[in-house]
């Protein structure tokens, strides 16, 4: 590396370290598992007016510093790193000034208070010592966090988002007290009284917050979609997707038709007798065996390397202290950059006849979850080991979700589900859902669908239960661009793969391609294409050249 390139590399790396150190304290807590990040010890969110003002000032400084780094003519790797930082900075701007969850979304403050407790409890390791103290601190901060919420939301909260939050908090007093009761045996006798007090105060504050929202929150606003231009801005600046909303709609409709056709063909195969669902303990044992089979399949077929240092993706019964608030996030522990020696864990509810859509699919065959959520665990664990720390971070869901969704069909085509026709149909059902998510996401953002219309459309078209559909739609309305990430990311991966095969000819190696794809799995696919295949038209548009 020449002197100039070496200096450019150091500037990018230092700016990245400064940004991500700040982001660990500023980034809002999310219900999604992939953006879940390590926080400083004892971290609590801060959304006071003065803090938000400080976030904007610091963001301005990062934007200036980023623009001052000139990468025109630099090697592709440095251009990719520069674009990555730009997308991370653009995401903060989009959160603060376009989405404005901190002043429009009442559930935002449930996430920034009780959600912090959830994130501490979801870690699959003993609850004692410092971690127990953090739980007490987070519970104790709930009343103040909700007081800040009232100040920020007053006259600005969006009516349908408020209604969703009121519904979520319908039984919150009982839920929080149930959590405290289940936690008590893990706490030292001298701290159990404090746990009871802070839990009672938190439950009361959340109930009062619910009642305030139900009474109108001192004025509620109508929901206003971000519009097609707002979504296009997100796609180009944050997600680094080189396509516009209308292009994505066309893609999604073609993919939905394809999924329907594949499902129709699948129905002609002999159908095995439906298997009897076992209890959750049986499912945990079965999932552990299937995870080992999956890893062996990757290796035997030359699909994806499975390093011995890579942990396992396992399942476990839902802890009693997590179950009452399990609606606050994805109930898994994908570990983190400092916990690479630990296995990933997916928590499962009891097996019943009325399980929600995704849990029901997993109960029928845990491979349906291993093929997606297990990929998230492996991809993140591999990315956290990346020698370039800028590649270890979450930037946007399109790459992460696209890889996992791509893996489902890729494994089906490779013969992994060949003997299990019902599970094959599950994969086709997932394909229909992810294609429909694009349409719902884009049409919600453009204002072409209301939230109830989108809910009913998903429930009828997948099909899926109304509760799951309602939750999905509320999340997509609050976080435009998330719903489309699965299908758009998968299509980008497939396009990338096809072009790599054409470019490398007989020298193409699928395992080598996948190993690099998973290791760089946080990097938008268009940037991975640029790095491997050169700057085509899509890459140049994203780099502004």
pLDDT at position 277, please?
73
Q: Judge whether residue 421 has pLDDT over 90.
A: no
Average of per-residue pLDDT values in the chain: 94
pLDDT beyond 90 at 545? no
| Span 453-486, pLDDT tens digits | 999 988 888 888 888 888 888 888 889 999 999 9
Q: Is the pLDDT of residue 491 over 80?
A: yes
Under the banding of pLDDT at 50, 70 and 90, the label for residue 356 is confident
Q: What is the per-residue pLDDT for 63?
A: 98
* Four-CA torsion 503, 382, 313, 136, nearest 10 degrees: -140
* pLDDT, position 418: 83
In the chain, how many domains are there?
A: 1
Q: Is residue 48 domain-resident?
A: yes
Do 451 and 473 contact (CB within 8 A), yes or no? yes
Q: Are the CB atoms for 231 and 440 separated by under 8 Å?
A: no
Residue 253 predicted with pLDDT over 80: yes
Its domain, for residue 26, covers 3-214
pLDDT score at 269:
86
**Beta strand pairing status for 313-317 and 344-348?**
parallel
In a domain, 148, yes or no: yes
Q: Among all chains, which residue has been given the structure tokens 């999905």?
A: 472
User: Is residue 330 within 8 Å of residue 404, measured between CB atoms?
Assistant: no
Angle (CA) 225-226-228 rounded to 5° is 105
pLDDT at 129: 86
Is the backbone of residue 102 left (phi > 0), alpha (psi -120 to 50) or beta? Answer: alpha
| 7-35 confidence digits (pLDDT tens) | 999 999 999 999 999 999 999 999 999 99
In a domain, 77, yes or no: yes
pLDDT in tens, 295-328: 999 999 999 999 999 999 999 999 999 999 999 9
Q: Which of 386, 355, 382, 358 is nearest to 370 (CA)?
A: 358
Return the pLDDT at 275: 66
The stretches of 29-126 forming alpha helices (DSSP H) are: 49-67, 76-94, 101-104, 106-111, 114-121
User: Per-residue pLDDT tens for 30-73?
Assistant: 999 999 999 999 999 999 999 999 999 999 999 999 999 999 99
pLDDT band at 420 (very low <50, low <70, confident <90, very high): confident
Asked if the structure places residue 18 within a domain, the reply is: yes
Asked, for residue 165, whether it belongs to a domain, the answer is: yes
Quick one: average pLDDT of 440-448?
93
At 265 the three-state DSSP class reads helix
Q: How many angstroms separate the first and last alpha carbons of the chain?
A: 24
| SS3 (DSSP) at 267 | coil
Question: Is the residue at 193 inside a domain?
Answer: yes
pLDDT band with cut points at 50, 70 and 90 for residue 539: low
pLDDT exceeding 90 applies to what percent of the chain?
Answer: 84
Specify the pLDDT at position 538: 64
10 located within any domain = yes
Mean pLDDT, rounded, for 195-211: 98
The reported pLDDT for the residue numbered 1 is: 53
User: For residue 159, is it within any domain?
Assistant: yes
């Amino acid at each position: 590396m020449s002197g100039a390139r070496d200096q450019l590399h150091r500037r990018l790396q230092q700016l990245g370290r400064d940004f991500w150190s700040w982001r660990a304290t500023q980034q809002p807590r999310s219900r999604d598992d992939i953006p879940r990040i390590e926080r400083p010890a004892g971290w609590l969110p801060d959304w006071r007016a003065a803090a938000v003002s400080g976030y904007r000032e610091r963001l301005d400084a990062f934007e200036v510093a980023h623009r001052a780094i000139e990468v025109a003519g630099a090697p592709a790797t440095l251009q990719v790193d520069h674009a990555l930082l730009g997308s991370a900075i653009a995401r903060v701007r989009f959160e603060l000034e376009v989405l404005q969850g901190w002043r429009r979304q009442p559930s935002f403050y449930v996430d920034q208070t009780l959600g912090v407790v959830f994130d501490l409890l979801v870690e699959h390791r003993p609850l004692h010592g410092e971690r127990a103290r953090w739980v007490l601190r987070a519970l104790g901060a709930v009343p103040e966090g909700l007081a800040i919420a009232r100040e920020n939301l007053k006259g600005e909260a969006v009516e349908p988002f408020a209604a969703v939050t009121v519904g979520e908090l319908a039984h919150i007093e009982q839920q929080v007290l149930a959590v405290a009761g289940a936690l008590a045996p893990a706490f030292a006798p001298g701290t159990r009284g404090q746990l009871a007090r802070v839990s009672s105060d938190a439950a009361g504050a959340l109930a009062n917050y619910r009642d305030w929202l139900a009474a109108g929150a001192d004025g509620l606003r109508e929901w206003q979609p971000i519009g097609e231009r707002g979504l296009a801005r997100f796609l180009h600046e944050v997600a680094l997707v080189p396509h516009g909303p209308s292009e994505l709609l066309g893609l999604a409709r073609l993919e939905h038709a394809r999924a329907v056709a594949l499902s129709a063909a699948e129905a002609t195969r002999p159908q095995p007798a439906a298997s009897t669902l076992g209890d959750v303990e049986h499912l945990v044992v079965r999932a552990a065996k299937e995870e080992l089979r999956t890893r062996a399949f990757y290796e035997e077929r030359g699909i994806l390397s499975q390093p011995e240092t890579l942990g396992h993706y396992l399942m476990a019964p839902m802890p009693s202290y997590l179950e009452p608030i399990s609606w606050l996030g994805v109930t898994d522990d994908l570990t983190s950059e400092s916990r690479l020696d630990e296995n990933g864990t997916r928590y499962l509810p009891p097996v019943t006849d009325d399980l929600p859509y995704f849990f029901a699919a997993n109960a029928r065959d845990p491979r349906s979850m291993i093929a997606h959520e297990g990929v998230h665990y492996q991809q993140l664990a591999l990315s956290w080991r990346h020698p370039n720390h800028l590649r270890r971070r979450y930037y946007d869901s399109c790459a992460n979700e696209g890889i996992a969704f791509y893996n489902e069909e890729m494994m089906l085509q490779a013969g992994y589900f060949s003997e299990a026709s019902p599970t094959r149909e599950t994969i086709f059902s997932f394909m229909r859902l992810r294609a429909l998510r694009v349409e719902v996401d884009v049409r919600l953002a453009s204002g072409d669908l209301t939230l109830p219309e989108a809910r009913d459309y998903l429930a009828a078209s997948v099909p899926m239960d109304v509760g799951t559909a309602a939750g999905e739609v509320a999340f997509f309305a609050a976080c435009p661009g998330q719903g489309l990430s699965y299908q758009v990311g998968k299509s980008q991966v497939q396009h990338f793969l096809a072009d790599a095969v054409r470019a490398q000819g007989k020298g193409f190696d699928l395992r080598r391609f996948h190993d690099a794809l998973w290791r760089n799995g946080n990097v938008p696919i268009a940037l991975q294409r640029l790095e491997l295949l050169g700057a085509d038209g899509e890459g140049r548009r994203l780099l502004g050249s």
